[in-house]
Amino acid sequence: MDSSHCLLARLQPVTSNPYSVNSTMNYKYVIIGSGPTGLGAAYRLKELGITDFIVLEKENRIGGLSKSFVDEKGFTWDVGGHVQFSHYKYFDDLMVKALGEDGWLSHQRESWVWIEGRFVPYPFQNNIKYLKPETMWKCLEGIIHNYKFPTNTKPANFREWILATFGPGLAETFMFPYNYKVWAYPPEDMNAVWVGERVAVTDLQRVTKNIIFNQDDFSWGPNSTFKFPKHGGTGGIWEAVGNLIGRDYIKLNCTVEKVVGADKKIVLANGETIQYEYLMSTMPLDIFTRKVEGLDPQTVETAQGLKHSSTNVVGIGLKGKPKESLKTMCWMYFPEYNSPYYRVTVFSNYSPNNVPDINQYWSLMTETSESSAKPVDRETLIQDTIRALKEDQLIESEDDVVSTWHMAFDYGYPTPSVERDGILKAVLPKLEPFGIYSRGRFGAWKYEVSNQDHSLMQGVEWANRVAANVPELTLFFPDTANAMWGK
């Protein structure tokens, strides 16, 4: 099907011919994008009894970055290591409604760092007793230095925050190399506002006790337990949410060409137009601003300063069984430079249905970041990945590989750059006079509230705002939203 074509049924045309390519349709609420944010908005509108809305999706299926894919050999892959945990009862209830109580598998998080030829439990900074004595002392000495000489200066960027929080030993051993591999930008290019609950800070007493008493320290973090769908990968969740909304409200293969702000009019690539009263876009903000007629050129140019990284997902389907050390592992972090990937998930451990036959096969899913500051050779990435998986002792032989899958997602992570908050403050309010709200992982560009639960709730809260005048929480108060975890 032509990617620019969409059939807009159920619309109220204002021209005499509803099937004319140049027909104009009316909707009170229009949503661009069918990832978790767009689906959250649509679901909430429907829940409020509102049916005067449409979701426009340029791809031929819903889910955005939460889609799943099945390769030619029958292995299922996600767009990276998605896991299901939540800060919101609303989200939890919807997940049960989507897949049912028995549609989920529950897991105890078991995550590790591979470094110096060994696995160190995560959080790395709490388990440095696993390291070589020289490296352990280097890390501990840095923590002690920070306790002896604390700084009261607010860090200007993520690099300064790392040094002030962990000390130079942990920074050089793990935090600097790992974060560069994840973000594809040097830490001095990033702010420290986003950190919140996502990085365990260092406690000298706790670290020292773990060393002296040889204690493991595994349980930190909001996702110490998580769920995963039995069937269909992460994408199965959002297909089910789409069914709850009703597929008539979601139009696939619809590409937005431009938005005429003053007229509150959307022009599609096939020539159709839609009049709206409220528009929520989940399109990347830098791209979207270039499509909005009526925005002043300075605002559009400012939005182009937002940084992002691309994500390369490589799936490796394997015959046999994982080695004993991997049988209960969830994911692993890789700070060292021999490997292109920063994270590897034992994806067959998430659900046996992620492989064709769990008695014969297992799978590893790797993530490699890419940006202008960190180029990747996509042509050789699969072979580079297999080589590194052997070096890192995850697989024994290339002969065990029965399937390979690689997909690059140009917009993978919204980078919390030093300039980001100033850009968002300048750009987002300029859209609202046109009835436009930019939300979601790349619509709002706030990594700290861009998990699946956050993203869905950004959509839900937008619907509450425009339909019932209820203030939004998640986007504007990330710390408050994240503090709700476990409440």
Residue-level pLDDT at 149: 86
Instruction: State the residue for tokens 């990747």.
Output: 376
Residue-level pLDDT at 152: 81
What DSSP string describes 313-328? EEEEEEES---GGGTT
- Measured CA to CA, the distance from residue 146 to residue 200 in angstroms comes to 16
Residue-level pLDDT at 221: 52
- Measured CA to CA, the distance from residue 159 to residue 171 in angstroms comes to 9
Q: Write 132-138 long-range contacts (CB < 8 A, 24+).
A: 135/173, 136/211, 138/169, 138/172, 138/173
Residue-level pLDDT at 125: 86
- Measured CA to CA, the distance from residue 276 to residue 436 in angstroms comes to 10
The pLDDT tens digits of the residues spanning 244-281 come to 999 999 999 999 999 999 999 999 999 999 999 999 99
Residue-level pLDDT at 195: 79
What DSSP string describes 201-256? PP-HHHHHHHHHTT------STTSEEEEESSSHHHHHHHHHHHHH-GGGEE-S--E
Query: Mind listing the pLDDT tens digit of every residue in the chain (487 residues)?
Result: 344 446 454 444 333 333 344 578 999 999 999 999 999 999 999 999 999 999 999 999 999 999 999 999 999 999 988 877 788 999 999 999 999 999 999 988 888 999 999 999 888 888 888 999 999 999 999 988 888 888 888 889 999 999 988 999 999 999 999 999 999 999 999 998 887 544 555 777 777 777 777 777 665 555 578 899 999 999 999 999 999 999 999 999 999 999 999 999 999 999 999 999 999 999 999 999 999 999 999 999 999 999 999 999 999 999 999 999 999 999 999 999 999 999 999 999 999 999 999 999 999 999 999 999 999 999 999 999 999 999 999 999 999 999 999 999 999 999 999 999 999 999 999 999 999 999 999 999 999 999 999 999 999 999 999 999 999 999 999 989 888 754 4
Instruction: Identify the CA nearest to 272 among candidates 2, 7, 1, 480.
Output: 7
- Measured CA to CA, the distance from residue 307 to residue 413 in angstroms comes to 9
* Location of each CATH 3.50.50.60 domain in the chain: 12-64+231-306+418-483
Residue-level pLDDT at 22: 57
First-to-final CA distance of the chain? 46
The fold of 12-64+231-306+418-483 is FAD/NAD(P)-binding domain (3.50.50)
Number of other CB atoms surrounding residue 229 within 10 Å: 25
Instruction: Identify the CA nearest to 27 among candidates 256, 265, 248.
Output: 265
Phi, psi of 12 (to 5 degrees): -100, 105
Phi, psi of 298 (to 5 degrees): -65, -40
SS3 of 180, please?
Answer: helix
What DSSP string describes 104-131? EEEEE--EEEEETTEEEESSGGG-GGGS
Instruction: Identify the CA nearest to 289 among candidates 409, 413, 428.
Output: 428
Number of other CB atoms surrounding residue 88 within 10 Å: 19
The pLDDT tens digits of the residues spanning 304-329 come to 999 999 999 999 999 999 999 999 99
- Measured CA to CA, the distance from residue 282 to residue 122 in angstroms comes to 33
